Amino acid sequence: MTDQLDEAQLLEESERTASIERVGARLAGRGSIFCQACGEEIEPARRKALPSATRCRDCQQRRENWRRMKGTR
């Protein structure tokens, strides 16, 4: 039982640290390694071309399409 608790605490700490790092990167004007919409990795070429990117190409495209459609109604 203790091993499971230790493992759960380590996982929680790891997730908390990753979350803090993502927020810090956004506040510093840098993007993220992972898409804030789907959680998948943002392609390295996209991160290089657009360092402030917070979404992968597909999720950003969906968002832009949705906003265009919403704006035409």
Share of the chain above pLDDT 70, in %: 85
What is the amino acid identity at position 64?
E
CA separation for the pair 63, 39 (Å, rounded): 15
Q: What is the DSSP letter of 55?
A: S
- For 11-42, the pLDDT digits (tens) are 898 888 877 877 776 666 666 788 889 989 99
How high is the mean pLDDT of the chain? 84
Q: Once rounded to an integer, what is the mean pLDDT over residues 46-66?
A: 92
Q: What angle do CA 46, 28, 32 make, to 5 degrees?
A: 30
* Backbone angle region of 32, left / alpha / beta, with phi > 0 → left and psi within -120 to 50 → alpha: beta
pTM for this predicted structure: 0.56
What is the amino acid identity at position 50?
L
